[in-house]
Amino acid sequence: MLKSVGYGATSAHAPLDLMHFNRRDPGPGDVQIEIAFCGVCHSDLHTARAEWEGTVFPVVPGHEIVGRVTAVGAEVSRYKIGDTVGVGCMVDSCQQCGSCHEGLEQYCETGFTGTYNSPEKHIGGVTYGGYSNNIVVSEKFVLRIPDNLDLAAAAPLLCAGITTYSPLKHWNVQKGHKVGIVGLGGLGHMGVKIAHAMGAHVVLFTTSSGKKDDALRLGADEVVVSTDPAQMAAHVNSFDFILNTVAASHDLDAFLVLLKRDRTMTLVGVPAKPHPSPQVFNLIGKRRQLAGSLIGGIAETQEMLDFCSQHGLTSDIEMIPIQKINEAYDRMLKSDVKYRFVIDMASLEA
């Protein structure tokens, strides 16, 4: 067994604290990674505090992982010791179903294995995530981090980057399209950057007028305060696509009416309480679509990393030591971060 150390929670009400645990030794097709940085996702907080059903305690969160390869199995062909790599939200899938064969492992029909809080197929128990010093992953679920990307700022791309890139790509956002991004948090700020790099005219929707300057800096062409009826009315029937990143329950109709005929709004934020149901007429009146999207497959995640490399995109981050993780969770609830916390694992002491 590989001895590991990290930060985890023992119950929904316990703060994250130092934990020692075991990982499997690398098998023939596995890659062992020394973790350098791990992003802090809102999903980590939802899971650690059992706001989503199904948390198995103890839980070690973290699925925005970057580091360097320290060991490889005998059958590994894609990576070697010293390579700079990443691990996102998945570490396994059935590899047999139609979705897996199409490179859509996130929609695995028997369920993908999450980087944390999923059944560990090799040694039993559950998977432990990236708030730790190391991880062992099948090479099929390891990503190559381009050399020109800052390693710490690239970590959130493994979740926030692919969560926004995948729907923008799937719904064929292209140059000249008018694209709305709802919310300017960890997901939204990457949505703005990526949509801008795709050539879209980007409109950022926010409840806070104070975010205008930052949104424009990140690549937005316009900023609309969504609580202002006049500003919203000026955009009715005008959008080619809207990416809604907000993870709090809110009125979807306010944004659906902004879409052109036959256009789509896609949800990627997961609120703890459901959204109010949209008015059906706002869908059927213009044959609009309300959709959802979940991260991306491994091939598409690598494509996203290469796209970000080409356009020089990384997340805006605030670096923290692991000892500040509980404080970071509290600040994240107050939206007091621009725009993603990243843990420097050099701060982890055994």
Q: Which residue has the tokens 């955009």?
A: 235
Domain ranges within the chain, ordered by starting residue: 2-158+316-347, 161-292
- pLDDT, tens only, 80-124: 999 999 999 999 999 999 999 999 999 999 999 999 999 999 999
- Mean pLDDT for all residues in the chain: 97
pLDDT value, residue 53: 86
Q: Say if residue 261's pLDDT is above 80.
A: yes
Query: What's the CATH number of domain 2-158+316-347, 3.90.180.10, 3.90.550.10, 3.40.50.720, 3.40.605.10?
Result: 3.90.180.10
**Percent of the chain at pLDDT above 90?**
96
- On the question of a common fold for 2-158+316-347 and 161-292, the answer reads no
Task: Give the residue-averaged pLDDT of 292-319.
Answer: 98
Q: Model's pTM, two decimal places?
A: 0.96
Closest CA to 168 of 313, 47, 63, 281: 313
Closest CA to 65 of 100, 12, 115: 115
pLDDT band at residue 291 using 50, 70 and 90 as cut-offs: very high
Q: Say if residue 284's pLDDT is above 90.
A: yes
Closest CA to 156 of 255, 230, 88, 75: 88
pLDDT value, residue 272: 80
pLDDT value, residue 69: 98
Pairing of strands 178-182, 201-206: parallel
Class of domain 161-292 (CATH, top level): alpha beta
pLDDT value, residue 350: 64
pLDDT value, residue 52: 85
Task: Give the residue-averaged pLDDT of 323-348.
Answer: 95
Residues 66 and 158 sit within 8 Å (Cβ to Cβ): yes
Residues 1 and 25 sit within 8 Å (Cβ to Cβ): yes
Q: Say if residue 271's pLDDT is above 90.
A: no
d(C-alpha 72, C-alpha 74), whole Å? 7
pLDDT value, residue 220: 98
d(C-alpha 277, C-alpha 323), whole Å? 41
**CA distance to 158, 250, 333, 346, per residue, from 295 (Å):** 9, 22, 22, 28
- pLDDT, tens only, 188-246: 999 999 999 999 999 999 999 899 999 999 999 999 999 999 999 999 999 999 999 99
pLDDT band at residue 33 using 50, 70 and 90 as cut-offs: very high
- pLDDT, tens only, 114-153: 999 999 999 999 999 999 999 999 999 999 999 999 999 9
- pLDDT, tens only, 40-88: 999 999 999 998 889 999 999 999 999 999 999 999 999 999 999 999 9
CB count, 10 Å around CB of 254? 16
